[in-house]
Amino acid sequence: MRLGLLDMIGLAASLVFALPLANYAVVRLVAGEVALGAGLLVVAVAMVVLPQYFLDPARIARRLLSGLLPRQLRGDTDSADAGRESGADESESPDAAAVDGDDATGR
């Protein structure tokens, strides 16, 4: 994963808060408070991992915009295949021959 400048700044900001929490979690684990230490360690890891892998702003914007576009303009093959599987046959429409460039003689 290649990180840009803003991604690096975001990662640094996450680490500023996650590292002290992870340090405290390790101290609690060594002190014998396993449940508290493990829980805080999971929270510290989630603070770094979630924004980097699951909450990518570019991916969220791309999904949002593709959801707003009509199915024909999305450009993904999944939605086109879903239309064909649902019973919509392109050969039945009169515009399909014009779009494909085929005429009635089969040339």
What are the pLDDT digits (tens) for 63-72? 777 777 777 7
The torsion angles phi and psi of 93, rounded to 5 degrees, stand at -80, 145
Q: Report the share of the chain in percent with pLDDT over 70.
A: 62
Give the three-state DSSP class for 96: helix
CA distance 32 to 59: 41
In sign, the C-alpha dihedral spanning 91, 97, 99, 102 is positive
Is pLDDT of 56 > 90?
Answer: no
For the segment 63-100, what is each residue's pLDDT rounded down to a tens digit? 777 777 777 766 655 544 555 555 555 555 555 455 55
State the average pLDDT for the chain.
75
Residue 59: band (very low, low, confident or very high) from pLDDT cuts 50, 70, 90 = confident
